[in-house]
Structure 1
Amino acid sequence: MTPRTMTAQPAIVVEHVSKWFNKRSTRSFKDAFISWVKRQPVRSQQFQALRDVSFTIHEGESVAVMGLNGSGKSTTLKMVSGVLRPDEGQVLTRGRVAGLIEVGAGFHPDLTGRENVFLNAAILGMSEKETKERFEEIVAFSEIGDFIDQEVKHYSSGMFMRLAFSVAIHVELDVLLVDEVLSVGDAPFRAKCNAKLKEMAAQGVTMMIVSHSAGQVKELCSRGIVIRKGEVVFDGAIDEALQVLEG
């Protein structure tokens, strides 16, 4: 443990968290239709996405959560964000938390970019005054220019993601949760996003990042948590975590 984490308060505490989902046993629409016609109940079975997951992230830490597809890493992030609730255990967070999990989830297609900035910023906990103060900065970072006054349903996916990302990173926050969103945009924009995240980390923002990019997590994180089949199998230095992930 570094001197920084020894003196810092916990920002995220995940204690003995387990989560189950129902998995339908019918294998196709045809099977489901036959079951419906015959008035047979559609059987479902429980799938355990997380099993007794525990870790603590201290204020100012940047931690990567890694694993193969289906390992449970995104479910873990959604637990911390409050999008999902654990079936067992508890998740505690300190301060204002913003999640780049489903970027633009709070955007409305029939509203303009400008209107959506205010809507999404409010969802993320910003006051109208705060948003007005940061509005020009948000638009400049997103690089969408005059499109800010067009309805977002006319945006390309790249424009949409850039604006949503820009809103989230300009919120006054204590904890930032990032889930695979830095694949958005072209290489220069991704580089700018990484630079902004490094700047936020230097300012003491706590970060929990899910990413498949070894280069990105090495640049942003000093610690890695590896999840395999819903269980934490490693929690330690980022270089060792990447070795465990590849092993």
Structure 2
Amino acid sequence: MEQPVVISVSDAGIRFRRNRRARRSFKDLLSGRKRRTRPGEFWALRDVSFDVRSGEAIGVVGRNGQGKSTLLKLVAEVILPDEGSVAVSGGVAPLIEITGGFVDDLTVRDNVYLTAGLHGMSRQEIDERFAEIIDFAEIGDFVDTPYKHLSSGMKVRIAFAVISRLEEPILLVDEVLAVGDKAFREKCYRRIEELLAGGRTLFFVSHNEKDLRRFCSRGLYLDKGALVLDSGIDEVLDRYNSDYGV
């Protein structure tokens, strides 16, 4: 039986100014019409369409600045498209700019409760998972230390530990483990594999070809804000490597 579509992107486009977000006029929003690009504006994504079914693992590839992270933010509904539509069924666990939202002056303990609560976990659920989160992050000695005193690697550990414990069916990952040490990164990757085995859907942005082949069966290749190829991950990576002489 074919799995249901959980992410549907249809003719999506998003436009930015060079120094700030470009806004559509109220008239444009009501009419739904496309607006010409004004001076100082550029399209980060345009005319992008694809569907993702429950349980799929999708790798998004392309050079820096081609729209990959913007696409993840559209799926996470952090930003809205200027054209087209993005529909997501079910919640998302966003591993995007992973330490964003943590408060420097609060302790690790307080940040766990704050961040997990903002993502919809109840106080009881956090109580039940708190020890598991701290054990996974391997920072038990620092649980009552202000967050601002943690190293960058420790911040990523606690953030990943919290977000990966959410029950949301869609996991969005954007190169967030680059600063982690090798052993902990492998630990996180095993956790991602556990989530995939449990039926989660993965949307994964990375420049690491080995990781993309490890997790993903399908790939999306973005170039200059356009979707160049939507196919099996091996074919997508081969095309990307061929285009840029890798």
Q: Is the structural similarity TM-score above 0.5?
A: yes
Residues 106 and 123, structure 1, Cα contact 8 Å, conserved in 2: no
Q: What is the one-letter code of the residue matched to 2:53?
A: H
Structure 2 stretches lacking a partner, 5+ long: 20-37
Please tell me the residue identity of whatever aligns with 1:180.
E
> 2: CA distance between counterparts of 1:96 and 1:119?
18
AA aligned opposite 1:204: G
**Who is 2:13 aligned against?**
18
Question: Are 1:119 and 2:114 an aligned pair?
Answer: yes
1:201 aligns with 2:196: yes
Determine the structure 2 residue equivalent to 1:32.
none
TM-score, scaled to structure 1? 0.88
Of 214, 222, 234, the match for 2:229: 234
- Secondary structure of the 2:18 match is strand
Percent identity over paired residues: 48
1:246 aligns with 2:241: yes
2:166 is aligned with what amino acid? V
**Equivalent-residue separation in structure 2 for 1:22 and 1:96 (angstroms):** 29
Q: Which residue of 1 aligns with 2:35?
A: none
- Give the alignment of 1:27-176 within 5 angstroms: 45-176=40-171
Q: Distance in 1 between matches of 2:179 and 2:195?
A: 19
Larger Rg: 1
Give the Å deviation of 1:182: 2.1
Task: Give the AA of the match of 1:149.
Answer: D
Q: TM-score, normalised by structure 2?
A: 0.89
Of 218, 221, 230, 2:216 maps to 221
Shifted more, 126-135 versus 68-77: the winner is 126-135
Superposition RMSD in Å: 1.2
Would the aligned equivalents of 1:99 and 1:176 in 2 still touch at CA under 8 Å?
yes
Deviations 1:121-141 (A, max 9, x none): 112221111111111110001
After TM superposition, where is structure 1 displaced by more than 3 Å over at least 4 residues in a row? Answer: none
Given residue 123 of structure 1, which amino acid in structure 2 is its aligned partner?
A: L
Query: Matched residues in 1 for 2:234 and 2:55: separation?
Result: 19
Which residue of structure 1 lines up, in the alignment, with residue 25 of structure 2?
none
